[in-house]
Structure 1
Amino acid sequence: MRVILSLGVVSLALAGCVAPATNVPQTTAPIVNPPPPAAAQPPAQTSTLDSATRAVARDVVNREMAKRLPGRNVAPYTDCVVNNASMAEMADIAQRGLNDPSSAASSVAVIVQRPAATQCIAKVAATA
Structure 2
Amino acid sequence: MRLSLIMALGVAALTACSAGDADRVARDAAKGVVNRTLESRFPGTNTALMTDCIIDNAEITEVYTIAEAAVVGPSAETSSLILDIATRPDTVRCAADNALAAFVLGGS
Class of the TM-score when normalised by the shorter of the 2 chains: 0.5 to 0.7
Pair 1:120-2:94 in alignment: yes
Q: Pairwise mapping of residues 1-128 of structure 1 onto structure 2 (< 5 A)?
A: 45-102=18-75, 103-126=77-100, 127=103
In structure 2, relative to structure 1, the CA distance for the partners of 1:107 and 1:74 (3 Å cut) is same
- Give TM-score, length-normalised by structure 1: 0.58
Between Structure 1 and Structure 2, which shows a larger proportion of helix residues? 2
Counterpart contact for 2:35–2:51, Cα < 8 Å:
yes
Q: Which runs of 5+ in 2 are unaligned?
A: 1-16
Max Rg structure: 1
The structure showing larger relative contact order (alpha-carbon pairs under 8 Å, at least 6 residues apart) is 2
Counterpart contact for 1:97–1:104, Cα < 8 Å:
no
How many residue pairs get aligned? The number is 85
In structure 2, relative to structure 1, the CA distance for the partners of 1:67 and 1:124 (3 Å cut) is farther
Q: Which runs of 5+ in 1 are unaligned?
A: 1-43
